[in-house]
Amino acid sequence: MPLRLLTFLSLLALVLAACGGTEAAVTATAPAGGAGSGAATAPSSPGAGAENPIIIGAAVHLTGWMAAYDTPPLMGARLAVKQINEAGGVLGRPLQLIELDGKTDQATVGNAAIQLIEQGAEVMIAPCDFDFGAPVGRAAQEAGIVGLSTCASSPLYGSEALGDLQFTVSMWNQTMSAAAAQFACKDMGWTTGATIVDTTTEYTQSLGEYFVDAFQEMGCTIVNEDTYLQGDMQIDAQIQRLQGLPEPPQVILLSTNMPDYAMMVRELRAAGFDTPLMGGDAMDTVEFYPAVGPDAGNNIFISTHSFVGPGVGPAMDEFLELYEAEYGGPPETAFAVMGWDTVNIIAQSIERAGSTDGPALAQAMEGVTFDLLSGSLTWSDAASGHAPDKEAFILEVKNGEPTFVKKIKPEYVPPT
């Protein structure tokens, strides 16, 4: 076991006393699996002290289109639980992860959360989206326990909308969009932009709105704003409107989910637009890269949570080594780190609070800087929405593969 992981657990109390975090280091992606309805599965063996484990419930989507965003973090959470237990657990108790599949259905995932809480979950892990994750946060709040979404980036995912015990490990869309806008307008000098924004979900709509706000605040110009509905699977009309502009935009922001993201890229390229394209974290999935391929998969930039590859830093290198040893290959997307980060936050905060009591645990999470694979993270207090102060990673797609460009903490972040 790597020294850094051992050091994390053996010196945890000292680190937390200094209000620091830990450099997390393991994650995974794998084919969708886990439990359906019925009794929750517990894939992570509690080991010694199993008669009194700390139970973490995960009501997430392992089937349906949301599985692309929830399966990688869940695999990371499973591996983090395993590594922490091998190093002695938390407060002398092992962690136990129990799971149920929300099946990309809001009612189902809400009921799954209630069932996990009834089975003893003391902390809840929620899906990577506000619309499809909020039912889990509401169930956790009703039960008086802390809930964390692995990567919901909507500014609605926080204490204002869901309650004072609810958090997201993601940056909010304001940061994701502003980082993309700053990279485009200031770093690359693309002074004119256009958007095609999916209005189906709050996440996709606000991502586009915040990009427009930040791009214009930084002195650049939006020449066209267009909309789209998830599942239409064609953008002929949007392309015609772009072709009708006096001058083509220097950058186009796309905001949707997969598989629609790949369709948009292919149709724009087929129509002769070699313009730089930008997208949010929902573009960074295992399905996206092969779907665009080496021909269409160039000159594309993604604002996302992390980069699972070389060049980020020693903690990521360690993560990759542990991941490959456990799963037999490298992680496929940046979503893979989010579950590991979530479990490490839970473990640190329980140590800091001395218990899993909801209010005490939430207080232990507020105002503390966590040093994660997905960047440094500090939450505000509940009165301020549990707003996450976090940096974004910018990736460039070359020949159908993601490459790391830089981290950005934007100079300007649009207000909520």
- Going from N- to C-terminal start, the domains of the chain cover 3-170+314-385, 174-304+395-408
Q: What are phi and psi of 182, to 5 degrees?
A: -65, -40
The pLDDT assigned to 331 comes to 83
The pLDDT assigned to 330 comes to 85
- Tokens encoding 413: 């972040």
CA 248 to chain centre: 32
The pLDDT assigned to 2 comes to 35
From the candidate CATH numbers 3.40.50.11240, 3.90.76.10, 3.40.50.2300, 3.40.30.10, the one assigned to the domain spanning 3-170+314-385: 3.40.50.2300
pTM to 2 decimal places = 0.81
Query: Residue 187 and residue 260: Cα distance in Å, rounded?
Result: 28
The pLDDT assigned to 211 comes to 98
The pLDDT assigned to 40 comes to 64
Query: Residue 208 and residue 110: Cα distance in Å, rounded?
Result: 28
Q: Put residue 232 in one of left, alpha, beta given phi > 0 → left and psi -120 to 50 → alpha.
A: alpha
Query: Residue 158 and residue 403: Cα distance in Å, rounded?
Result: 31
- Tokens encoding 380: 């505000």
CA 65 to chain centre: 15
Taking alpha carbons only, the member of 301, 283, 268, 265 closest to residue 187 is 301
Q: Residues 201, 57, 284, 349: is their CA dihedral positive or negative? A: positive
pLDDT along the chain (416 residues), means of 10: 35 35 32 41 54 95 95 92 94 98 98 98 97 98 98 95 98 97 98 98 95 98 98 98 97 97 98 97 94 97 92 84 88 88 98 98 97 94 97 96 94 93
Taking only Cα atoms into account, the Rg of the chain, rounded to an integer number of angstroms, comes to 21
- Tokens encoding 407: 């981290």
CATH number of 174-304+395-408: 3.40.50.2300
- Tokens encoding 135: 């039912």
- Domains 3-170+314-385 and 174-304+395-408 agree in fold: yes
Cβ count near 49 (within 10 Å): 14
Distances (CA, A) of 397 to 129, 155, 244, 303, 313: 24, 27, 28, 11, 20
Strands of 130-220, DSSP E: 146-149, 166-168, 192-198
226: three-class secondary structure by DSSP: strand
The pLDDT assigned to 44 comes to 52
The pLDDT assigned to 322 comes to 86
The pLDDT assigned to 50 comes to 59
The pLDDT assigned to 239 comes to 98
β-strand pairing of 95-101 with 375-379 = unpaired
